[in-house]
Amino acid sequence: MHVRLAKSFTFEAAHFLPTFPDGHKCRRMHGHSFRVEVVVEGDIEPDKGYLVDYGEIKAAIAPIRDALDHRLLNEIGGIENPTSEMVAVWIWKKLEEKLPLLSEIIVYETCTSRCHYRGD
């Protein structure tokens, strides 16, 4: 049986988008209440009855959340241009070795705006 599991986390952070045109509101520093979904996918082993322990996903996420929460994202190495797209890629790179079944990162920048990243 093939399944997809998702574990969410939130963080509060400020950023500005340096590649946006002068005068654009996103070029100014501002903040968001971000929500991220980490999705793993695969086939359930019949003898186990589950794909991945949610606790494993939570443990893999914890240092990433700590690195992002209440920060200026532009100051974090690797996401100096912290668009939702670049944040999703950065999170993927941090998780891909810890979660071999990683299939998607979804970054919600607002309630109505999000980015889906499924790796290269």
Choosing from 24, 30, 70, 116, the catalytic residue is: 70
Domain harbouring 80, CATH code? 3.30.479.10
Q: Is 26 annotated in the active site?
A: yes
pLDDT value of residue 94: 98
Q: Is 70 annotated in the active site?
A: yes
**pLDDT above 90 (res 120):** no
Q: How far is CA 89 from the centre of its chain?
A: 8
Dump pLDDT digits (tens) for 7-61. 999 999 999 999 999 999 999 999 999 999 999 999 998 999 999 999 999 999 9
Rounded Cα distance between 57 and 39, Å, is 9
DSSP class of 76: S
Domain total of the chain: 1
Domain hosting residue 38, numbered range: 2-117
How buried is residue 119: exposed, middle or buried, by Cβ count under 10 Å (0-12/13-18/19+)? Answer: exposed
Choosing from 26, 37, 41, 104, the catalytic residue is: 26
The band of 80, judged by pLDDT with boundaries at 50, 70 and 90, is very high
pTM for the predicted model, two decimal places: 0.96
